[in-house]
Every structure is written in C-alpha cells, then in structure tokens.
Structure 1
Amino acid sequence: MNNKGFNWFFPIMIIALVLFFVANSFGDNSAKSIDEDAFFREMQAGKVQNIIIYKDTEKADVFLTKAAKTATVSKKENDPLSAFSMAPQADYTVKYGDLQLFLQKFEQIKSQNPAIKTSKDYGIGKNPITDILVQALIWITILGIFYFILFRKMGSGGGPGGQIFSIGKSKAKLFDEKERIQVTFKDVAGLEGAKEEVQEVVDFLKNSEKYTKLGGKIPKGVLLVGPPGTGKTLLAKAVAGEAKVPFFSLSGSDFVEMFVGVGASRVRDLFAQAKAKSPAIIFIDEIDAIGRARGKNNFSGGNDERENTLNQLLTEMDGFGTDTNVIVMAATNRADILDKALMRAGRFDRSIYVDLPELHERRQIFDVHLKKIKLDDNVDREFLAKQTPGFSGADIANVCNEAALIAARNDHSSVSKQDFLDAVDRIIGGLEKKNKAIKPSEKKRVAYHEAGHATISWLVEHASPLLKVTIVPRGRSLGAAWYLPEERQLTTTEQMLDEMCATLGGRAAEQVIFNNISTGALSDLESVTKRAQAMVTIYGLSPNIGNISYYDSSGQSEYNFGKPYSEETAKRIDIEIRGLIETQYDRAVQILTDNKDKLDALATKLLEKEVIFREDLEEVFGKRAWDPELTEKPVTNTIPNAQEPQEQILVKEKEGQGEIQAPESPTQI
C-alpha cells in the first residue's frame, strides 16, 4: 500500500524463524546418548573433562577434553544454530540409574587413577521451552538490526550509502484523507486574483464533468510566479487543504542526486504514484532547480543529470499515455530562466503572477498575523498598512513578530503602535547603537549629510516624502533618512532624476559646507549608479542612446561572455551614465547653495535632537506646494517603486571610512 515495492523482510523473517524452531525441535537430542558403562570407560581413558549432573532429570551432560574432541566430533558442533546458543553444548548425554551408586563409582575410579582430572558439577535440569524462547529472542534481535540497517536505512535516503534499493523512489510527501493540511483559502489574505485562479483549479478536480461535458480539457499545470515571500507556497498549502484529493508536495532539489538517472527515476515514480491515486495534485516548489532552460551555452553538458530530469518531467506532463486527472502545480521566483518547452500550452497552461500586496491586501495580511498578538487599542491596521509599502506577506509576518519581541523586551503588557514602528525601523535599518562613540566633527558631518538629503527631497517636486531623519547609528550606518515612496506603477524621467538628485544631496551638502567629501556616500553612489544604468540601458530614457533596451528578460544573457552592444556604444553609455549623475550632483549643489541658511538650521536641529520628523522640516521650509496633505503623520519608512528592478528600496546614507554596504531591503527588486 506504500507504493514502494514488495517488502522482502517479513518473508525472510518467517523463514528464519521456521528454520530455527525446526532445528531446535530436532536439536535437543543432537548430543549422543550413552549408558553408564560407556561413560566410565571414557572416563578411565582420560577423555572426560567435566560432567554436569542434573538431579531432577536423572541425566548428566558429558564434556570431553580437547584432545578427545578432535577424534570425536559430535553432531551438535555441525549444527549451524549452535553458535547462537547461550549455554555450552555437551558432547554426550548419560542417563544414570541410582545417583548414589553413580557417584560412588565415579569417586572410586578417580581414587584408583589420580591422573584422571575429571570434575563434576551439579545443575538444574534444562527447560527446553525456556531455551527456545531465549534463542528466539536472540534471533528476533538480530533480524531487527538487519531490518533497520538494510531496509529502513536504505529507504530513508540521506546520501550515497543510504538509498541502495530505493534511491529512485520519489521523496514527495503525500497529504490525503489520513494526513490533511489545515490551511484553507480563508487563511490566505490578499492575493484575490491568484486565489480566484487557483480555486478554479480545485473546482476542476472536484467537478471535472462540469467542464469536460462541454468539450473542455482540464489544465495540465499551474505555475505560481512572484517575488520571494509573497505567499506562493502558502497558496499551494491552501489548495492541498481545499482540494480533498491526494496532494504530493516536494521541492525541485529533491530530484537532484549524485547518481546518474536518479532524477528521472524519481519523476517517473512520482507520476506513477499520482496516477494510481488520480485525481491528484503534484506541487513542486522552486521548480527552477530542475527547470532551467536547456541550451548550447549551458556549460554543464548535454548529458547533465538536471537536463535528464527535466526531459522526463516534460514527457510525464505531456506525452503518450498522460490522459489522467493529475494537475502539476509549481512555484518559482525565476520564471525568466525556465525552459520554453516547460512553459508551453499543454504543460503549464496557467501562469499566475503573485505580486507584492497592495494597500488593502496588506491590511488583510495584518489582520491574519495580528490575531495571535495582544494589541493596544491605539493600533490601527490601516496605519500599519500605509507604513509598509512594498512589503511582502513574509515581511509583514516578520514585522508583527518583531513588534511582539520588542514589546516583551520593554516589559509592555501589550503591543503598542510605537512597537510596530520600532519593528519596521529595526527590520529596515538594523538595531540602534546609541552608545557608539563618534567624534564631534564626524557627528557634525553626518548631521549635514542627512540634512542635505532632507533638504533636497523637500525642495524637488518628485522626490519621495521624507518621514524621519536620524543621526543615531543604526546597524552599520551612522545616519539614515526614511522616505515614504508613492505606490506607482510607472515612473517618469523627471521622477527618476529628482530621486537621483535627492540621493546625491548628502555628498553635495558635504561639498557645500566643508568644501570636501567623505566615504560616507557609498550606498548613495551605488543607488544612483544603478538608477542611471537602468535609465540608459534598460528603460531607454536617455535621448543620446535612444529608445533601446539591453535588458534580457529570458535570463540567457548570464551565459554570454560578450556584451549586446559594440565598444563604441559602451563608451557612449558610460559617458551618458556619468553625465546623468554629474548633472544631478551639480543640481543638488546649486539647490543647497541657494538654501544654505535653511540647511544650517536643519542640521543644527538635527544635532540637537538627533531625530527629526516631518513637522520639523515644515518649521524650517514651510509646507510643500505640490505635496498632498497626509491624513496620518507617520514616523517611519519603507520602500519605493517595485517596478524598478535596479533601485535601492530604502534611501539610507552612511558615514564613516572604508567600504560600507547598504543594508538589504525588506523586498527584493
């Protein structure tokens, strides 16, 4: 019933036990029985070493000397089971009559011939049933060890020595009526479009006749695509909980093994099990482990084990004899590198994009994760959703958990609004280091650096609204500025240029105030360079290069040594990128020079308070003419446009010496 072939252990065990009992039933009398006269003749000849007398059975066991044994071999020694006996095996058995007369004659022979060294002992008569039970226990123990080593260990996997007989078997975990997943679609917040598509797949399996009677065919495969942490695996768990059909779950790496042909064998075994339990669902998480595109530029070779596994998967999904109600679900965040044959109609018919949650979806996700947390009355889910643009479902779960930990660390009776804001700051920027020693001159430079960012972002139209500026060290940074970016689907050239100008505001402020620059703008320069590269080479926003994009969405460019453009074009691209950056830097210097008094006032306030908010900037600059009035006054930040793959999500500035890397953002762009 386990679909893993016939188990030979139990027949072997039964045969061994039968042989054991048969051998014991005939083996109790295997020692030759002799009379008293024959025993005493052997004793007088000096062949008897010891005799054990059993008073209750009127029998005695006779043990010969080593010299006598070489000449006389008993039947018991030829018994292969004698090696497992607990007691030594007698060479002869003698049945005496009167014990007193037997002992008198024994002592008489010893006294007449002092060279005879035969000893005598007394024992309790053997119980044949006890002896059989003891030996049976020994055999059961031996067979149990044999079963564990040869069958259980080899069937459990775990390395080249652990799967001799079942290495080609599938590692998929089966969820059926015996072991059900409790996750349902009610537990999946947001993802309305993706849930709707997946629910239709579940309906295909439950009511297939509803679709087939009109001539339709049930789709073969459903591919879930999206950034990490958006809920692809959770959606698959919900399908397993809702479908009420056998659900096979495994990872793409479970097919990969060091032995040749193992991956293809596991694919065959997986689909054989699924077909036997049809209708069924197979879920392969991280399918890009085996589904990477094949091609001549793949240096792993034409006979690569991964390619063999992929070929077998392609055959099983759409080949001869595949007319069964088995739906394959898969999840990946690298859909661009999957093989085209895997993505064609007839294999993965549906491709469902699981995107980062919108505002109302983030509110629903907060509702799910806050059920188990003891909250203050002032916690507003709408406010929390606004503070976390670009956060995935996994990031929001991490925020809730981190807020609970912060509240417990501060001995709060419940989790407050400020705990959530501190949790967002902790996740984005790292832990505060208030006791870190900083020179006054460095602290002043950090203050002007951060004030430069704040000033430029306030005075240019399309920069993200600033929420909070701090010069308290956090993580590896000496200062940071938080912005609340607009959730937009498209970004114009002017918006990107304004954001670049605001990012360069820190270094520009150092140039204006101190007439020199420092290494603290490393993350700023990295962010601006990536943004300028994207404008020129990806989005076609440079008039000198033209409407050309060198971005390869198929992912095949990573195998190419050469660039998709000539050396002359590469030089023009370098000049254009540098020109964009230098133009915005000069613009930032000019803005700060024109507003130097306000820059000084903001830096002085920052040195005094160490942390300033939007209200402090309004006191210095007044309200922004183009800024919409915010209903809430948040005090923390998150991320910009998720449509720009090469942007830094959080504008964080760092001060200090040496190479400083920007902290990772909560979502991957």
Structure 2
Amino acid sequence: MAKDNNTKPNKPKFNSWWIYGILVALIIGFQFLSSDGLSSTRKKTTSDLLEYIKNGDVKKVMIISNAGYAKVYLTEEALEKDSHKPVSKPSFSLNPTESPSYVVNYASLEIFEKEIKDAKALNNVDTIIDSEKESNTFENLLFTLLPFVLIIGIWIFMMRRMSGGSGGGAGGQIFNIGKSKAKLFDEKTDTRTSFKDVAGLEGAKEEVEEIVEFLKNPEKYTSLGGKIPKGALLVGPPGTGKTLLAKAVAGEAKVPFFSLSGSDFVEMFVGVGASRVRDLFKQAKDKSPAIIFIDEIDAIGRARGKNNVTGSNDERENTLNQLLTEMDGFGTNTNVIVLAATNRADVLDKALMRAGRFDRQIYVDLPDIRERKEIFEVHVKPIKTAETLDLDFLAKQTPGFSGADIANVCNEAALIAARKEKKAVNKQDFLDAVDRIVGGLEKKNKIITPGEKKTIAYHEAGHATVSWMLEHAAPLVKVTIVPRGQSLGAAWYLPEERLIVRSEQMLDEMCATLGGRAAEKVIFNKISTGALSDLEKVTKQARGMVTVYGLNDKIGNLTYYDSSGQDSYGFSKPYSEETARIIDEEISKLIEEQYLRAIDLLDKNKDKLTELAERLLEKEVIFKDDLEKIFGKRPFAKDVKENAEEEAKKDATTNSSEEE
C-alpha cells in the first residue's frame, strides 16, 4: 500500500508549562545528586556514640555547629565488625568527600562536646574531634531568588488572564479588561424568539417591528429625506415583557444584535465603563447595520449631579457621558440602533431622553383583559390540561397581573397538580395558583385560638357585607379564614378595570376596606390590630385624593405630586405648615366618615353579618353564591346585566345538551 507523502506526523505543540516542569526536575535532581549520602545512613543517639568511642570504633567526630548534628566516621577495623556491617558499604553520592557512617543529633552543643571529650579522655582513645559550619550554596541561592520568581510568575499569570489570550482591542494586550462584554446574538445557535411568541403589547410590537424594518429596508424611509431613528427606550413596570420584546427583535432582525446589561459597564477600575462603551459601538459600527440592546439602562443612565456629595458616582457619570457622545456626537453611528429597557424612567438623565438619542419611548403597560387572554394562550400550550380551559374566565381572575405573573400562574398550576398526584391540570389548579401567588401559601396547621378565629371570621364577613352593599365596591369572589402567607384571613375581589376613577368610587372602596374593623366594633364593641393592612391602604387612598388627584374641596384643585421625580431629593415640603395641618385634618376626616358609614351599614344588616360569619366559621371558605343566598342578588345595574348574561349562557348550554 502506497504511503501518502503529504501526510505529516503530528508534532506535539509547545507548552510553556514544560519549562516549569524541566526546572523543577533539575532542582530536585541537583539537590539529590549534590547530597552527601546522609539519607542512607542510620541515625544514632548520643549514648550510642559514647559506647562506640569507648570501644575505640570512632575515627573522627565532625560536629556541624550550625545544623545541630554531628557526623561520625568509623575506623576500618570497626567497619569489619558485624554490628557495623549495615553501614560498611559506601552510599551513592557524587560528592567526592568521604561519607559518614552515622549521624547523631544533639540538643546542646556545649554538653555534647563535653560528653565526647570526657569519654575520649576516660577511655584513652585517639578519636579526632573537629567542628565546622555547613553551607549549601544552592539552597541559599534558591531561597534568595524564590520570592522574586513567585512574584514575577503571579504577575505574568494575572496579565495573561486579564488579556484574555487575545491581542489588540480596547486597552491592548495587557489591559483588555476595557473590552465590551456584549453578547452577539447568533440566530443559528441561540434560541430564537419571534414576534409571534410575544402575546399582547400590540402598540409596542408595532414600534419595534418598524425598527427592524428600518434596518432591513432603509431606502424605503431615507429616499424621502427621513433619517433612521437612533434609539428606542422600552419603559414599563417589571414583568411586562420589555426584555422579551428585545429577544423578539433579535430573532426577527437579520442583522447583528449585541445584548448586555447596564451593570456590565460598571467596574472597580477607573475609565473601564467608558472604554467598554467605545468598544461596544466600535464593534457595532464594524458590523453595521446592527442593533445594541442595553437592559436596565438606569444602572448607568441616572441623572448626573443628583446627590453627588462624595463624588462617588464620577465613574458612572463618565460612562454616561461616553454613551451620550456615541449615540449623538460628532462621530455619527450609521445604521446602529440602540434599544434600552428600564422600569425607572423617572431617574434617567434628560440628555439621554432627548430626541436624537432615544427618539422613541415605548411604554409597555400592564396587559388588559384581552391581552391577558392572549398571554394565557401562549403559556398554556406546553401544559397538559384535563379540560378545555375558559381562558376568558382566567383573564378576568387575574386583574393587574403582568406577563411574568401569568407565566408564574401557569407554572404554579402545573406544580400544584403534580403535588396532588394528578395526571393533568384543571381549572381549580389555576384558581389555586392565583390564590397562592396573591395571598401566599396556605397554613392550615397554624395555631389559632377559637376567640381569634371568631374575630377573624367577623372581620372578613364585614369586608364581604359592606362591599356587597356598595355600588362601586369591587364584587366579591370568595372569602376565607384559612391563614395564607402573612394574613390570617382574606377576601378576594374582582376589581373593575378603570382608566379613570371618580370620587364616589374611591370612597366606596375605602368604606369596604374599613368594613372589617367596623364589624369588630359592631359585634364585639372592641377593635384589634388585625386591620393594619386595611388602615395602610385607606390612608394611602385618602392621601392620594387630597394631595395628588385634587379631589378634596378644602385643598382645591392642587396637586403636590411630581411625576418627573426631580424633587425626590428635596429637603422641604412644597406647602406651608398651615396647609400640612389642613391636609392631615382632611385625610382623617375622609377616613372617619367612611368608617362611620361602614358601621351604619353593618348595624342595619347585623343579622345577615352574623349569619355570614357563622357560615364562614363552619366552612372556612365561602364564595359569591353563599352571599347571594344570604343577601340576594346585588341590585346594581351592572350586576343585573352580568347575571342576565350568565342565565342566558346557562339556558343556551341546557338547550344545546337537550338537542343532543
């Protein structure tokens, strides 16, 4: 068989660690070869040495005064004796000097010398007693150079790690720490997210889809003289899908996508943040058209000069200055669009928010009922359900939930079903998951005395009764006295999703919130500490009515709310002491009026309140149907309409089943 001449043998690659290994081997070998064979000799005690001297076996004793031992050399006649045969053969050593037969360690040099001299004189032997100082040139040199070698080695190791094994870039070979940490999205290897995976957020999706279109087909817009926007800022509460939108842009755009967090610019070294910003935009310009996504931009984009007493934020301000320059400075970045996300838009610097940098601010709000249904449709797909879920019902049961909360509900429902050894997830598991997320974990084993349980039952029944009697209060879903999370009892409501709120609506909600404490007062003529969260809620609502929304006649059409957040570091109130006194009086007056209103309502319906509380003590959990049996249907127009719709649905279901 002919041998391929082009085949080259695989030569081993050179590794710098080989040099270190060779040096260590040479050191060990040199130390071993330079030894005088002491390791092969037998150690003896002082008494053994004195016995050998008495027998005339010792030719010479060489005392090493600086090492604490002595070398014993035997006579030729002594080496012929049977007792010394183990040391009669010379040990291997490259040292040309004669090797000692024995080694004797001593504690005190003066005592040791005296004992040897006394033994020599007593036995009248001609043993030579001598002393010397032992020096090892190699060891001395090694211990002198070793610290310097270690320092140089550690320095080289740190520099190699900091350089990351690559040349050039920001900071050069040594200080490559200034290089950007941005991750370049690769659509072939990374998990791809498309706009189809983003449910709801129609307005925000339309904006970011247009950004992708800018980069795919820029001539469509520039042909008319327009300019491609420099950046878009995604603003909204946590969990609403800002980062998910950016992932969808990365999946849809056929352009390089650089993703990083605002904290990636922060480093303990001075100037690193600005260096990383420069390197990031340099990479993006080299690969333009490109998109840069900075998550949590408030880490570096906070307003400059705020509360800068110690100067500790100079490095962050330098990073922000560099970002401002890169986005809209003398050196324009052609076809590089910056996306950023934050839930703290009020603290961002004004220069960062101006047109020409972030031209568009896309507000990603909490989803409404229609969008929540779409989000449920996305997250229910991978879950094995036992029935066809009514997603409209689930969307109604989750007001104020963000997209992340809904994803958590679906996941928690699956975990609850698995905990109960079910083969599939049903509607009740989803409701239990909502309760788990809103109220916390049930604590059925919590020790509560009968008196406390009765107080809790009347407290929660008071909430339910007052809310049932008031037109604008949120309709009740269920009431429970089973401890959950930090609460001893809870009432679940289904609040109406309003864009604007009127005074009478807020007052009804405050009255319903105070219904628990009012029930304790009506039934027991005593109040407890169980209304803490209720008092906190109504105090905030009353303060908002007086100082924020201008819904108080005495204060008038004034607001002391600063939506820009610029006054958050002020040391003075925006009103006088007299106005502060009036505000406190009006807040207290509002709350007390609603408290007395709740007491009056419960006094008139005391028998129904008692019946509801007794049923709650019996069942521990009651629903809307139980309240209808006691109080009857709510007489308000909206509830009558909803009840009529429910009856129509039931009739339609009955008719269809009869036809089948």
**TM > 0.5 fold call:** yes
Say if 1:398 and 1:85 are closer, same or farther in 2 by CA, change over 3 A.
Answer: same
- Counterparts of residues 501-540 of structure 1 (less than 5 Å): 501-540=511-550
- Which amino acid is 2:604 matched to? D
Q: Deviations over 1:611-641 (max 9, x none)?
A: 11111111111111112425569xxxxxxxx
Corresponding residue for residue 629 of structure 1? 642
User: 1:327 is paired with a residue of what secondary structure?
Assistant: strand
Corresponding residue for residue 407 of structure 1? 417
Alignment counterpart, residue 569 of structure 1, candidates 576, 579, 583: 579
- Which amino acid is 2:599 matched to? V
Q: CA deviation at 1:294?
A: 1.8
- Counterparts of residues 29-178 of structure 1 (less than 5 Å): 150-152=159-161, 155=164, 165-176=175-186
Q: Deviations over 1:59-110 (max 9, x none)?
A: xxxxxxxxxxxxxxxxxxxxx98776599589xxxxxxxxxxxxxxxxxxxx
- Which amino acid is 1:183 matched to? T
Contact 1:181 1:240 in 2 (8 A): no
Q: Does 1:220 align with 2:233?
A: no
Task: Give the Cα–Cα distance (whole angstroms) in 1 for the partners of residues 163 and 646 of structure 2.
Answer: 62
Task: Give the Cα–Cα distance (whole angstroms) in 2 for the partners of residues 259 and 145 of structure 1.
Answer: 20
Q: CA deviation at 1:15?
A: 11
Alignment counterpart, residue 623 of structure 2, candidates 613, 626, 629: 613
Contact 1:356 1:391 in 2 (8 A): yes
Task: Give the Cα–Cα distance (whole angstroms) in 2 for the partners of residues 260 and 587 of structure 1.
Answer: 63
User: 1:352 is paired with a residue of what secondary structure?
Assistant: strand
Contact 1:399 1:423 in 2 (8 A): yes
User: 1:468 is paired with a residue of what secondary structure?
Assistant: strand
User: 1:329 is paired with a residue of what secondary structure?
Assistant: strand
TM-score, scaled to structure 2: 0.73
For structure 1, list consecutive stretches of 5 or more residues without a partner in the other structure.
Answer: 1-12, 21-79, 91-114, 122-143, 157-162, 634-669
Q: Deviations over 1:431-457 (max 9, x none)?
A: 112222211111111111111101100
Say if 1:302 and 1:548 are closer, same or farther in 2 by CA, change over 3 A.
Answer: farther
Task: Give the Cα–Cα distance (whole angstroms) in 1 for the partners of residues 223 and 14 of structure 2.
Answer: 53
Q: Deviations over 1:283-337 (max 9, x none)?
A: 0001111111123544453861111111111100000111411000000011111
Contact 1:279 1:324 in 2 (8 A): yes
Task: Give the Cα–Cα distance (whole angstroms) in 1 for the partners of residues 421 and 190 of structure 2.
Answer: 39
Say if 1:542 and 1:173 are closer, same or farther in 2 by CA, change over 3 A.
Answer: same
Structure with the greater relative contact order (CA < 8 A, sep ≥ 6): 1 or 2?
A: 1
Q: Does 1:386 align with 2:399?
A: no
Contact 2:160 2:174 in 1 (8 A): no
Corresponding residue for residue 500 of structure 1? 510
Q: Which moved more, 1:487-496 or 1:592-601?
A: 592-601
Task: Give the Cα–Cα distance (whole angstroms) in 2 for the partners of residues 173 and 166 of structure 1.
Answer: 16
Say if 1:198 and 1:86 are closer, same or farther in 2 by CA, change over 3 A.
Answer: same
Say if 1:300 and 1:227 are closer, same or farther in 2 by CA, change over 3 A.
Answer: farther
TM-score, scaled to structure 1: 0.72
Q: Does 1:444 align with 2:454?
A: yes
Task: Give the Cα–Cα distance (whole angstroms) in 2 for the partners of residues 296 and 150 of structure 1.
Answer: 37
Alignment counterpart, residue 548 of structure 1, candidates 555, 558, 568: 558
Say if 1:233 and 1:585 are closer, same or farther in 2 by CA, change over 3 A.
Answer: same
Task: Give the Cα–Cα distance (whole angstroms) in 2 for the partners of residues 424 and 83 of structure 1.
Answer: 66
Corresponding residue for residue 5 of structure 2? none
Corresponding residue for residue 38 of structure 1? none
- Which amino acid is 2:271 matched to? G
- Counterparts of residues 396-435 of structure 1 (less than 5 Å): 396-435=406-445
Task: Give the Cα–Cα distance (whole angstroms) in 2 for the partners of residues 155 and 582 of structure 1.
Answer: 68
User: 1:190 is paired with a residue of what secondary structure?
Assistant: coil
User: 2:592 is paired with a residue of what secondary structure?
Assistant: helix
Say if 1:422 and 1:302 are closer, same or farther in 2 by CA, change over 3 A.
Answer: closer
Say if 1:263 and 1:419 are closer, same or farther in 2 by CA, change over 3 A.
Answer: same
Task: Give the Cα–Cα distance (whole angstroms) in 2 for the partners of residues 600 and 410 of structure 1.
Answer: 35
Contact 1:453 1:506 in 2 (8 A): yes
Corresponding residue for residue 204 of structure 1? 214
User: 2:567 is paired with a residue of what secondary structure?
Assistant: helix
Contact 1:369 1:400 in 2 (8 A): yes
Percent identity over the alignment?
73
Q: CA deviation at 1:390?
A: 1.1
User: 2:284 is paired with a residue of what secondary structure?
Assistant: helix
How many corresponding residue pairs?
513
Task: Give the Cα–Cα distance (whole angstroms) in 2 for the partners of residues 82 and 431 of structure 1.
Answer: 64
Corresponding residue for residue 588 of structure 2? 578
Corresponding residue for residue 648 of structure 1? none
- Which amino acid is 1:189 matched to? A
Say if 1:117 and 1:177 are closer, same or farther in 2 by CA, change over 3 A.
Answer: same
Contact 2:187 2:251 in 1 (8 A): no
Q: Deviations over 1:31-75 (max 9, x none)?
A: xxxxxxxxxxxxxxxxxxxxxxxxxxxxxxxxxxxxxxxxxxxxx
Contact 1:389 1:487 in 2 (8 A): yes
- Counterparts of residues 113-512 of structure 1 (less than 5 Å): 150-152=159-161, 155=164, 165-176=175-186, 179-295=189-305, 297-299=307-309, 301=311, 304-512=314-522
